[in-house]
């Protein structure tokens, strides 16, 4: 049985990121179906909407939208009915729920979630910090981190750090390299939560081999991809984490998002403990 495809039209008066994330989360539940995405960001005028409608009429499919302008929303819904394309205002059910609970009327503001508020600048600050402290390249200022990740090569330290930074969590990461000592004083850090990342030797070897292939490395028989050597690296890191009482997360079968969510939960507990002891 072959894979089925359908057209998915995402219309937003902002960046479209909310629609993309929501639709992909749902589409992932259908193994034999793939969407052909048509994304229309920053749709805030009738002319912009009409261009999107023309494409929907040319390639009917599912239409998801986030438009706070009621006139544009009604125009889109009418056009979808005429073309036989099911459509849904993704935020409307959530707005209705908020309204019924809070007893207040929302103020329509396109792209309000992307305003330059304190949270936005917190994320930018976290990202700057994280990029400076990626892969142990800046061996100072770790006390200013919220989270410090440790792990052998290819345990997803960098992508996890960047994801956390985008959530406003200042994250540093340090690779565990055989024969290379850790920066001094890590065990004395008070503010950051130190987390050890682990993975199965098989997974690490697979990722490292792919890495060497992508780099066209000449020597494919180095200890870097030797199964026994990798197993010892991971065992050594596990002993290090246990010695210092640092929590660990096995990333073998976890996505970056799942790893980050687990770290955020650990960090919340760490902050509560830090506050009660202060």
Annotated binding site: 151-158
Q: Which residues are annotated as a binding site for ADP?
A: 151-158
Q: List the one residue out of 227, 248, 232 whose CA is nearest residue 155.
A: 248
Q: List the one residue out of 106, 210, 91, 97 whose CA is nearest residue 153.
A: 210
State how beta strands 171-175 and 193-198 pair: unpaired
Which residues on neighbouring strands pair with residue 89, listed in sequence order? 65
């Amino acid at each position: 049985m072959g894979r089925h495809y359908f057209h998915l039209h995402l219309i937003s008066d902002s960046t479209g990121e909310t629609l993309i994330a929501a639709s992909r989360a749902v589409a992932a539940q259908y193994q034999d179906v793939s969407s052909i995405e048509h994304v229309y960001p920053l749709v805030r005028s009738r002319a912009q909407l009409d261009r999107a409608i023309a494409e929907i009429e040319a390639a009917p499919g599912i239409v998801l939208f986030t438009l706070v302008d009621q006139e544009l929303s009604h125009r889109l819904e009418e056009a979808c009915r005429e073309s036989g394309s099911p459509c849904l205002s993704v935020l409307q059910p959530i707005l209705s729920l908020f309204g019924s609970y809070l007893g207040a009327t929302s103020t329509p503001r396109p792209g309000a979630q992307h305003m330059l508020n304190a949270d936005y600048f917190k994320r930018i600050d976290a990202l700057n910090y994280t990029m400076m402290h990626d892969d142990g390249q800046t061996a100072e200022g770790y006390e200013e981190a919220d989270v410090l990740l440790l792990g052998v090569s290819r345990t997803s330290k960098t992508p996890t750090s960047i994801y956390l930074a985008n959530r406003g969590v200042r994250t540093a990461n340090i690779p565990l390299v055989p024969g290379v000592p850790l920066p001094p004083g890590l065990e004395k850090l008070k503010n950051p939560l130190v987390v050890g990342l682990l993975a199965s030797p098989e997974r690490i070897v697979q990722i490292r081999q792919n890495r060497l292939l992508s780099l066209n490395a000449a020597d494919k028989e180095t200890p870097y991809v030797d199964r026994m050597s990798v197993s010892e690296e991971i065992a050594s890191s596990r002993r290090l984490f246990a010695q210092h009482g640092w929590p660990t997360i096995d990333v073998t079968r976890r996505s970056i998002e799942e790893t980050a969510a687990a770290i955020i939960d650990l960090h919340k507990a760490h902050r509560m403990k830090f506050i009660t002891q202060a």
